[in-house]
Amino acid sequence: GLLSPLARELRGTVDELIAAIPASLAAADRLRFQDVVLRSQVTNLRSEATWHLLDAMGIGRADADFTCRATACIRSLVEEEPPFRPSGAGAEAMRVFSYAEYWIVDMAGRGPHVEGRLVRESGRLQGPGGRPRRQQPAGPHLHAFRLPLSGHVDRRLCAEFQVLGELCCALGPAAERPAARLEIVGVLSLFTSTSPCLSCVGVLRQFQLLFPEVLITVTQGETALLQSFSCE
């Protein structure tokens, strides 16, 4: 049928992306992944295919309790319910949120103990405390890139990039030296109200390589939306 060739093509794209997952923070590794994305002409793999990529990166799946807290927080921020729709229902036009809970500490005692939660919305720049800001800090560690078919979109405005970038800033000098980063341990749970774009998948990998002792788990919002209605 018609879907079979499309499914095979998508699987081939996912396999290429998995093979190009950066093994280091070197620019060459990062650009290899970016080149595969640009050649594929894909902006977002959607939920199931994205899980194949996240699984290959060693990123786990967040638990149901975290998902309930995330969806409750996001739903409290918007008048309409839900603020997101099932996959394929016009992702570019809807509001997109990321919510994170984290506990991260520098075991060497050189950096801060970072603990709490963050929620950010794509396209709406916010600083610490949720205050509006004019410009996203261009930190040296995380690199977003423009995607095919949506080259006008600055992916540094993505909610996921804002969350991860703010965590890097909070860790401050402890993030500067590779040896020091090995002393940074903790957990990070990240909720995305739709499947992350491929730029944000790449940024998530960069964060993982920066802080290899921080356990990362993720929930994608397509399935979490249904779960949210059972949260008390």
Strands 214-220 and 184-192: what pairing?
parallel
- Could you tell me which of 141, 119, 137 has the C-alpha nearest to residue 202? 141
pLDDT tens digits for range 107-152: 888 777 899 999 999 887 765 555 655 555 546 789 999 998 776 7
* Count of positions (residues) in the chain: 232
Q: What is the pLDDT of residue 87?
A: 44
CA distance 74 to 198: 23
Assign residue 114 a region: left if phi > 0, alpha if psi is -120 to 50, beta otherwise?
Answer: beta
- What is the rounded CA–CA span in Å between residue 201 and residue 6? 22
Question: Which tokens hold the place of 133?
Answer: 């800001």
**Is residue 140 packed enough to be buried (19+ CB in 10 Å), middle (13-18) or exposed (0-12)?**
exposed
- Three-state DSSP class for residue 53: helix
Letter for the amino acid at 71?
Answer: T
Return per-residue pLDDT of the chain as tens, 232 residues: 555 777 788 888 999 999 999 999 999 999 999 999 999 999 999 888 999 999 999 999 999 999 999 988 988 887 654 555 444 444 445 788 999 999 999 888 877 789 999 999 988 776 555 565 555 554 678 999 999 877 677 888 999 999 999 999 888 777 778 888 899 999 999 999 999 999 999 999 999 999 999 999 999 976 665 556 545 5
Q: How far is Cα 216 from Cα 209, in angstroms, rounded to an integer?
A: 11
In sequence order, the β-bridge partners of residue 215 are 187
What local confidence, expressed as pLDDT, does residue 128 receive?
Answer: 56
Q: Give the residue among 57, 99, 102 at the shortest CA–CA distance from 193.
A: 99
Q: Would you list the domain boundaries of the chain?
A: 3-228
Locate the DSSP E strands across 23-163: 60-61, 97-106, 114-121
